[in-house]
Amino acid sequence: MSVSACVVLMACACGPEKSKAGSDAKPSQPSASTRAEEPSATPSGSARTEKPSATPTGDQPAPRTREGAIQRYEQYLHALGREDIDTVCEVAGPAAKKAQDQGFGPCTSTYATVFQMISPAQKKALQTATVDPQRIAVRTPDKIEMPVEAVRASATFSESDLGSYTLEYLKNDWYITD
């Protein structure tokens, strides 16, 4: 239950500090800057491989589709498994803002605690987790519920481990808002 509470807090506490920083550089800032130098000498294929995993928001809008929401949520799950704080806080930024407004700390400090509460087996499972499209609930074209039961991974996750999330399409991408 502690992990779930922390994950919920972290999803809600991912701070504006990372959202603002991530809005220009996007979640994998070191990779993006490394890739930014490489494309001039490297074929654009390698840069293209990195960009979808970072976030498509910088160059073009993310697909405003069910599949786009699933892709974004899988990005979050993989980042959670890799302890990629930048990506986690980017995707969960709106929920983080709400939590911070309620007195919780910034995303970076909250998720640092959550990362410690996730077992190594769960982290590894999250890195390759997928979402079962038949188990999600499309509430509106801009709002999709991702129940924990939709997560397909080599480890089992419960509501107290991972929790369920709401993704909304805001500013040309999908974000965790609740």
Q: How many domains does the chain have?
A: 1
User: Does this model's pTM top 0.85?
Assistant: no
Cβ burial, residue 1 (10 Å; 0-12/13-18/19+):
exposed
- Write out pLDDT tens, residues 30-49: 333 333 333 333 333 333 33
Domain containing 7 equals 2-176
- Write out pLDDT tens, residues 120-165: 999 999 999 999 999 999 999 999 999 999 999 999 998 988 899 9
Which residue type does 23 have? Answer: S
Cβ burial, residue 53 (10 Å; 0-12/13-18/19+):
middle
